[in-house]
Structure 1
Amino acid sequence: AIVYSISETAKLNDLNPYSYFKYLLEEMPRYMDEKGNIQTSNLEALLPWSERLPAKCHKPGL
């Protein structure tokens, strides 16, 4: 259900779900501390509506 929710939210924000998931999986390790806990201070940059997402996450032509 979580994956489906993220995928549908990505679509609603004109993102390519595959590219967005790939980006999330590549970036999430950078948001973890030495104990493996996620640091929530900058997670806004990973949200599907963030303006800081790279162009590769967006659907072509947008």
Structure 2
Amino acid sequence: MSDDAAHISRPIRPVKAATNSAEWRRYKDHLRAWKNARLEKQLDNIQAEELSEQQPST
């Protein structure tokens, strides 16, 4: 995952998406990418936390 993917802003549904299928599809694609980036970042944080707990402290 690139750093850019983690910083995708949450999409705002354009008014014309209600009547324009291409705009709606673009919105849904952006929303899916945003959700996936958030979930991937959360997973990375959880994995990093688990790794730090597994390492013996000195």
Larger Rg: 2
The reply to whether TM is greater than 0.5 is no
TM norm structure 1: 0.28
